[in-house]
Amino acid sequence: MQHPSLNIAIRAARSAGKLLIRYLDRVDLLKVESKSHNDFVSEIDRSAEAVIIQELRARYPDHAILAEESGAQGRGDWLWVIDPLDGTTNYLHGFPQFSVSIALLHKGRLECGVVYDPLREEMYTAARGQGAQLNDRRLRVASRPSLQGALIGTGFPFRNQRHIDAYLGMFKDMTMATAGLRRPGSAALDLAYVAAGRTDGFWEIGLAQWDCAAGALLVQEAGGTVTDLAGGKTYLETGNLVAGNLNVHQAMLELLRPHLNERLPA
């Protein structure tokens, strides 16, 4: 039996996705603002977020919300974490890699999550203890035993670049140890691809909760492992995340460990 909250999240993600597609060929007309260095928001981000919140509020008026553009709303044990457009810079350039990400937490524990790619009409869903699916097809992480031959996803720390030197060291070592790295620009989709076995692993520094909450649950429910850079469980707080199957994940941690220091929390 599907998690009841998952149906609501799917409906909200589809509604937001339709809006994103409708304006995709008119991005030059959108009002765009800079929130911080290399971090942009457009009126479509805000409109898509409003559509999602309206859907969730209609069914769960007492649940708290943490959304990228409108921030925290309400308090309680149940918390919806929303990114209405993960990959805004891609979207504004017409680069076809962006997604809608919605997750539900209960007392800090991930309960269900949705990552929706409206361009490809791919709906990635997961509920705790019930597995992960792509358009109703069961997902499993790749079975690769090591980093040799692995395809790894990543994302540059674009919001805060004080860790860029540590990251570039990680990037170099990972490049030399694997078949290649990919940086498509939507962390939520990157994690969904790990869950689907399209990539063997993923890591990034400085993510927000809304970037990775739903994707992390997808990986876990597809049989993978998600931790912070030290192998702990603080990735939603620190925004530093490593994901993959058990073997690849462990190999990634070992390769990344020499680049950690007191200025780069796990």
As annotated, the binding site includes: 68, 83, 85-86, 211
Binding-site positions for Mg(2+) read: 68, 83, 85-86, 211
Report DSSP letters for 106-123, one per residue.
ETTEEEEEEEEETTTTEE
Of 97, 55, 107, 101, the C-alpha closest to 76 is 107
Residues 254, 227: Cα–Cα separation, whole Å: 13
Report DSSP letters for 175-216, one per residue.
HHHSSEEE--S-HHHHHHHHHTTSSSEEEESS--HHHHHHHH
* Chain centre distance of CA 73: 21
